[in-house]
Chains A and B, each alone.
Chain A
Amino acid sequence: MRKALVLVILVGTVLGLLVACGPAATPTPTPTKAAVTPTPTAAPAATATPTTPPQPTATATLKPGETPKPTNTPTATSTKAPPTATSIPTATPTPTTAPFPTQVFAPKGNLIEAIQTLGLQMFDPVREDRASMCHYQAPIFDTLLGSDPKSGAIIDGIAETWEQSKDGLSWTFHIRKGLTWQNGDPITAEDVMFTYQQYLAPDAINGGTWPLEAVSGEVIDQYTFKVTTKAIDVYFGSKMSRAVGEDGVIIPKKYAESIGMKEFAKKPVGSGPWKFKDSATGVKVLYEAWDKHYRYKPNYQTLTIVMVPEESTRVAMLRTGQAAIAAIEPDSMAELSKAGVQMVMVPAVEQSAYYIWGTYDPRYAGDAITSVKVREALSLALNRQEIIDYVMEGKAAMPLPFGAFRYSVDIDVARWEQWSKEKLRYDPEAAKKLIADAGFAGFKLRFMNYDRPGSAYQKRVGEAQAAYWEKIGIDVDMQMSEWGVFSPMRREYDPVSGSQKVLAGQLTQFRAVGRPTTLDRSYSGLRWDGDERVAGSPLMKTPEALKITDLYSAAYGATDPQDRFKKTNDALQYMADLWLVVPVIEAGAYWAVNPELVGKFSGTPGRGELGEVMGRVPRPDQSPWK
């Protein structure tokens, strides 16, 4: 028996030592102290412009590089700080072309990226175009409008210029002349029209911009396409850029018609910087460089995106040179940095937040969470900086109001930075006082905690939230759940109140993805006629819910930039003051890079995946990390 025990200890020790020694013995170059990219607090162009940027009128058409005349946008409220809206990105019809470094087309070698999942591995981008597909679709397919790699702003794409009509009900896109598809066919307005028609297919799963918002499309001439919308939506044009969504992808009419959409999905042709070569379902996708893209010339001859579900395997592949870029979780960053692996953090990809459901539901009348003071106290009880430092290893930032980011358009960034500092501060004493004043000391809070797919840190953030709430005397009843179980509950309604049958009266984790259009996410959460109905329901149109509809509709319909700026900030303020949808941290997307295989690069703010980025990733000899 004793001998067996000694043997167990010996074997355990040897294995332990081998594992412990692993990281130090990697073939990667000397570890650098500056291995980690800057924290997301330094989001590009977030507050760089002290005054409101020039915003052209809705109908103005500009050529790339042309600078619109400056106009001052008035502040939305009486804050002392001058109105500060970021100049980039803009979701308004503001054609801009960001300067791009000239890339020489001399591709060499194979670039291998290891990611958790290849999603549906579907190469018909119209029938399946959600964000998670961008990893493997974006290298092949271009969008009508582009996104600026430095700021995440909306810039020209296949369309060189675009404008909204005076009545706000139609949009005209002017296709860049001389562009071709990867098979050599020219890109024309007919392709845009064809793509629009494909978006209307009943089996198309996409962001819904075309089927839900467009009424008709029209080919004006070979290079001009006009779309009429159901209502005025100042952000329709912006939705044609991946900075906002995925519905701007364009596919070739002639080629797709010649082989049919089913075959197209097997042998896709696009106009992006990478040509599709091969795909093995659930294994990998292969591409080869294409030299005719108007903006990006790949630096590698081939690109391989491989699916490796397990993070430790991805990291091992990265360290052994089997992969050059690997998706990781934020808690792995510190350890990997020490091992000489370089990090790329894409800032402002999403907010981890929480929702408070059904506060208007009569079943919960008189409950603590119906009190605005209590809801504000819940926020004050959270030490967000500690969550950022210890749960997120410093790889996150203080958030702005729910759904608002430092690159969001039409918002007064300085004002919301200040708001974040004041209103999202850690003040447990003030929190206790607010709860006591409201008469709910020691109340019981039902909290459903879960990880959202793609945001594996959320449960840990939720556990920290629960601990802070308990610290100020709240009796937290935390229930651990899973997205697949939680999500359907959002759409199961109580027949009397119209709020969620199970979720009403509870606080749950939630998430807002980063996009320049500020109001979209909070509106879909709070509107009474939406799915989430956090502020009111079709059966209980609360004054708050009606006010939300008024304020948000006004902002969406404001074609004048100054007017829209004011109305957007007004709506944001009203939403923030309700404390129903509350941000906790602003998180990014996290990538580990083998510096011997890939040169220094950065992601596009707000876009967690590297789909578009692959066209500009340099080799180590072109852009060394040191």
Chain B
Amino acid sequence: MQRYIVRRLLQGILTLFAVTVVVFALGRLIGNPVDLLLPDDATEADYKRIEHSLGLDRPVYQQLGIFYWNAFHGDFGNSIKYRRPVTEIFFERFPNTAKLAPIVMLISIGIAIPLGATAAFFRGRWPDKACTFIAVFGMATPNFWLGVVFIYVFAVFFQVLPAGGMEGPKAFILPGLTLGISHAAGMMRLLRSSMLEVISSDYVRTARSKGLPNRMVLLRHTMRNALIPMVTVGGVMMAHLFAGTVVVETVFAWPGIGQLTYQAVFFRDYPLLQAMVVAAAILMLFMNLVVDILYGYLDPRIRYS
């Protein structure tokens, strides 16, 4: 197991290297932040002055080298936009996203498990079709649209929830629901398939033939085993949520990592964007590793070497 973890960590470092090179190159292809920093009628001298002060007048390979050297020492540089260390800005915003993520997770699981189980249990009958419709609707509905509809319905029409911001516990409901519904759809479909697979397995048939009640077969024998693939999806989903949900955070004016990433892209804030992507990549790699390790414990058939 230890060798496996070390190998995965080394792979992770290589992945991070590749990700940073791609982000570094792509970021510089989409424009220069100085164009957004300076006024309309700025002169060539203004551009040169600011490019020099930001270190953008150096060759790209030098900029990349400096980035790696500093990142190795835990310094991701100063944000071009905010003129503050990006790590400081990241940790200012991260708690906001982190507060939302567990709520989304709870809502997703709260929707996905009962619906997925119902769909599998009543396979081919109307509850299955209804649940499938809900899942398809959830997957096909864009987040931003659902968010805007929720704002109009619950904030403007019924006036029971705030339209945006994160003041008070009520503010968590709409972004949580919007994200929760869209994530629940995929989880529900996965649980349904997984349960159907388990239901038709020998040990479930044996349990039934022993005369165990349906409820017990479903909860003890079927659900437990069917939930294993959900761990993978849940882990990746958690990483996604912690890395920030750009669209929903923008729609609900939620000052988290997603909104920050959006601003970094829009503003060509290279250091901030690079730090965001590296953070997302690290989260993703870490969660994948955790999920893989958990798998070994959850399913005794899986062994890593």
Contacts and interface: CB of A to CB of B under 8 A. Distances in A.
Specify whether A and B are partners. Answer: yes
Interface of A: 3-4, 7-8, 11, 15, 18-19, 21-23, 25-27, 117, 120-122, 127-128, 130-131, 202-203, 205, 207-208, 212, 280-283, 306-310, 312-314, 316-317, 319-320, 322, 453, 482-485, 487-488, 491, 511-513, 520-521, 524, 530-531
A320 B155 contact: yes
21 contacts: A117-B263, A128-B83, A205-B37, A208-B42, A212-B43, A281-B82, A281-B89, A282-B93, A282-B260, A307-B255, A309-B262, A312-B152, A313-B148, A313-B251, A313-B252, A317-B253, A320-B163, A322-B164, A453-B36, A485-B31, A491-B44
B297 interface: no
A316 B39 contact: no
A485 B45 CA distance: 20
Contact of B49 (A131, A202, A312, A483): A202
Contacts of A3: 126, 129
A309 B267 CA distance: 14
Interface string B26-42: 00001110011111111
A513 B260 CA distance: 28
A513 B45 CA distance: 21
B41 A485 contact: no
Of B30, B50, B162, B164, most A-chain CB atoms within 10 Å: B164
B251 A310 contact: yes
B253 A307 contact: yes
Of B83, B84, B137, most A-chain CB atoms within 10 Å: B83
Contacts of A127: 83
Contacts of B47: 491, 531
A488 B149 CA distance: 38
Of B35, B46, B129, B155, most A-chain CB atoms within 10 Å: B35
Given A310-B148, A310-B252, A322-B164, 16 more contacts: A7-B130, A22-B156, A25-B157, A122-B82, A212-B45, A281-B255, A283-B165, A308-B253, A309-B259, A312-B148, A317-B162, A317-B164, A317-B253, A320-B162, A484-B35, A487-B32
A169 B239 CA distance: 62
Contacts of B45: 212
A3 B126 CA distance: 9
Nearest to A24: B157
A316 B165 CA distance: 12
A202 B252 CA distance: 38
Contact of A313 (B32, B84, B253, B255): B253
Contact of A122 (B83, B157, B250): B83
B88 to A, nearest CB: 9
Given A282-B93, A312-B151, A313-B164, A484 B30 contact: yes
B262 A18 contact: no
> A-B pairs with the 5 shortest C-beta distances?
A484-B31, A487-B35, A316-B163, A524-B41, A308-B253
Contact of B50 (A205, A283, A306, A531): A205
A58 B251 CA distance: 53
Interface string B81-121: 11110000100110000000000000000000000000000
Contacts of A207: 39
Interface string B253-290: 10100011011000010000000000000000000000
B253 A485 contact: no
A520 B41 contact: yes
B149 A15 contact: yes
A83 B31 CA distance: 46
B83 A120 contact: yes
B155 A316 contact: yes
B53 interface: yes
Interface string B131-170: 0110001000000000011011101110100111100000
A19 B153 contact: yes
A182 B263 CA distance: 33
A117 B264 CA distance: 12
B157 A22 contact: yes
A22 B152 contact: yes
B263 A208 contact: no
Nearest to B53: A203
Nearest to B161: A320
Of B41, B149, B151, B262, most A-chain CB atoms within 10 Å: B41
Contacts of A309: 250, 253, 259, 262
Contact of B162 (A128, A131, A322): A322
B174 to A, nearest CB: 10
Nearest to B32: A488
Contacts of B132: 4
Contacts of B250: 309-310
Nearest to A207: B39
A130 B81 CA distance: 13
Contacts of A531: 42-44, 47
Contact of B46 (A208, A307, A482, A484): A208
A511 B42 contact: no
Contacts of A130: 37-39
A487 B34 CA distance: 10
B115 to A, nearest CB: 15
Contacts of A202: 49, 52-53
Given A4-B133, A322-B162, A322-B163, A282 B259 contact: yes
A4 B89 CA distance: 47
A18 B157 contact: yes
A522 to B, nearest CB: 10
Nearest to B44: A531
Nearest to A22: B152
A278 B53 CA distance: 28
Given A122-B83, A282-B259, A488-B32, A308 B164 contact: yes
Of B39, B81, B149, B162, most A-chain CB atoms within 10 Å: B39
A511 B153 CA distance: 38
Interface in B153-205: 153, 155-157, 159, 162-165
A210 to B, nearest CB: 13
A80 B276 CA distance: 63
Contacts of A306: 165, 253
B111 to A, nearest CB: 16
Contacts of B52: 202
Contacts of B159: 27, 320
B154 to A, nearest CB: 10
Given A3-B126, A122-B83, A320 B156 contact: yes
A126 to B, nearest CB: 13
B163 A313 contact: yes
Contacts of B31: 482-485, 487-488
A128 B163 CA distance: 31
Contacts of A23: 156
Nearest to B159: A320
A314 B47 CA distance: 34
B202 to A, nearest CB: 33
Contact of A11 (B36, B137, B162, B255): B137
Contact of B81 (A8, A120, A310, A530): A120
Of B81, B89, B165, most A-chain CB atoms within 10 Å: B165
A566 B231 CA distance: 78
Given A11-B137, A483-B35, A484-B268, A316 B44 contact: no
